[in-house]
Structure 1
Amino acid sequence: MKLGIILGSGLGGLADALTDAERIPYAELEGFPQPSVAGHGGTLHLGTLSGLPVAVFQGRKHVYETGDARGMTVPIRWLKAQGAEALLVTNAAGSLNAEVGPGRLMAISDHINLLGVNPLTGPNDDAIGPRFLSMRDAYDPELRATLHAAARALDIDLAEGVYLATAGPTFETPAEIRAFRTLGADAVGMSTVPEVILARHAGLRTVAVSAITNLAEGMGGEELSHEQTLRNADVAARDLVRLVQRFAEDYARG
């Protein structure tokens, strides 16, 4: 196992691109979360993508479902135990940049954690990672460069920016979006940050991509909804599948 991939809302189509795939429901795996949100399947897919052995997590547990950020602890530590080297995280997100609209993809360069919780809260397992974890270059510069190179090869217009995570489940208010733009955020969502923290704690390299599903509240004319998220994620997923396939191919070559 070389690479783990976490699929965001409406992005499950990537699992269909695997060859020689084995599908295991989370319910059959001890400690794996049981997602309760439409668009999150709750299935582990093991197979190959562009010749690279991968584990694809279709479904994640969000802070708004349980009140804490530890829902993906077991899957990510399991991934590390299987010998994986890196984790690619995808999500559906709202854009705070009017020039990066629905259907676009954005590589995440950094994040702002406004979830109010951290998955490493509580006793630390020193055998897995340090008590005080540096998050400098959490989104691996070399892997981001590989991602951008793959996008250029496929003529995919890949933006880059800072992802801000809120706990949800409500969408943000227009005033919050104005505040987030002042903080330097380029996209906003309700996931990803816990998985990246857990992966870095376990020593996995991380890279992440947002599928932009809407302009953030107050920037567009349509009232936000989860149905809109899923609908527009399907548009972005077409490029995302191609991008991740090429990334896996290039990553396998080193």
Structure 2
Amino acid sequence: MSNTAQIKEVQAYIESKINEKPEIGLILGSGLGVLGEEIENPTAIPYENIPHFPTSTVEGHKGQLIIGKLKGKTVVAMQGRFHFYEGYSLDLVTFPVRVMKAMGVKKIIVTNAAGGVNESFSPGDLMLIKDHINLTGHNPLIGPNDESFGVRFPDMSDAYTPALREIARNVAEKNGIALKEGIYAGLTGPSYETPAEIRMLRILGGDAVGMSTVPEVIVARHAGMEILGISCISNMAAGILPQPLSHEEVMETAEKVKNTFLTLVKGIIEEM
């Protein structure tokens, strides 16, 4: 479990650089950091300058915290996240969520690039996450529980806040965005799944698959935050189309869908 003293130290460091406390947190996945460019009067803090923060090593992840205004709300955005497959502990992967909570963030939007498991999806679709399946074999809450963070056994029945999902559906409809909805299966990576694993995920009820999001959502839920999750379906998962998978394809699709993604997320923030 994250160290309270470290969280307070990071909170103090970030707050010394900003004038307004953020109310909404954003975690921007592969190729989706473009939302960070939309933030007005931004204060950008590279991860390497923040005490106790790891650094992001993945292409498509800028590796900085941006605090500023978006649609009239003060937001704190992670341009690039940390992954378990980079060798970081889940404590470190989810550390920024704890920091956001300490800074007063009550609502968080978690985004990712994911592989399409549901065969009715296409690359470039946006999927509202209604639930997830944790197939990482790990949980970020393992270890002693700090009651000041949350209860020992947090309820995950509505991990993805229904009221925020309703806002997302309304914004999508208003803007003519065909928003899919489905279940995100979280694995560790970094290898892509095999065709057999994708068939298994489909049987288990997964609609999209990725290597992030689940640990952050568990910790945000533990902290009592409201959560919205959005996946950009960047490619169809293994075995669906006769082609190899690559991170380049993920980045290309995210680039193509960026305007729709920006419209959707900015519209949601305005209504939150």
Q: TM-score, normalised by structure 2?
A: 0.90
- Matched pairs, number: 251
**1:215 aligned to 2:241?**
no
- Secondary structure at 1:71's aligned position in 2? helix
The whole-number CA distance in structure 2 between the counterparts of 1:210 and 1:229 is 12
CA contact (8 A) 2:27 2:79 kept: yes
Q: Residue 182 of structure 2 aligns to which amino acid in structure 1? A: G
* Counterpart in the other structure of 2:146: 125
CA contact (8 A) 2:84 2:93 kept: no
- Secondary structure at 1:70's aligned position in 2? helix
* Counterpart in the other structure of 2:109: 88
CA contact (8 A) 1:213 1:236 kept: no
* Counterpart in the other structure of 1:55: 76
- Secondary structure at 2:147's aligned position in 1? coil
- Aligned-residue sequence identity (percent) comes to 47
The whole-number CA distance in structure 1 between the counterparts of 2:54 and 2:170 is 34
* Counterpart in the other structure of 1:65: 86
**1:110 aligned to 2:131?**
yes
**1:188 aligned to 2:188?**
no
The whole-number CA distance in structure 1 between the counterparts of 2:84 and 2:94 is 13
The whole-number CA distance in structure 1 between the counterparts of 2:82 and 2:251 is 17
The whole-number CA distance in structure 1 between the counterparts of 2:93 and 2:150 is 16
Alignment of 1:226-245 (within 5 A): 226-245=247-266
Shift, 1:96, TM fit = 1.1
1:10 to 10, 14, 31: 31
2:157 to 113, 130, 136: 136
The whole-number CA distance in structure 1 between the counterparts of 2:232 and 2:28 is 10
**1:30 aligned to 2:51?**
yes
The whole-number CA distance in structure 1 between the counterparts of 2:242 and 2:42 is 41
Q: Residue 55 of structure 1 aligns to which amino acid in structure 2? A: V
Shift, 1:67, TM fit = 5.7
* Counterpart in the other structure of 1:156: 177
CA contact (8 A) 1:70 1:194 kept: no
**1:43 aligned to 2:64?**
yes
Shift, 1:31, TM fit = 2.0
* Counterpart in the other structure of 2:13: none
**1:100 aligned to 2:121?**
yes
5+ residue gaps, structure 2, are: 1-21
RMSD: 1.0
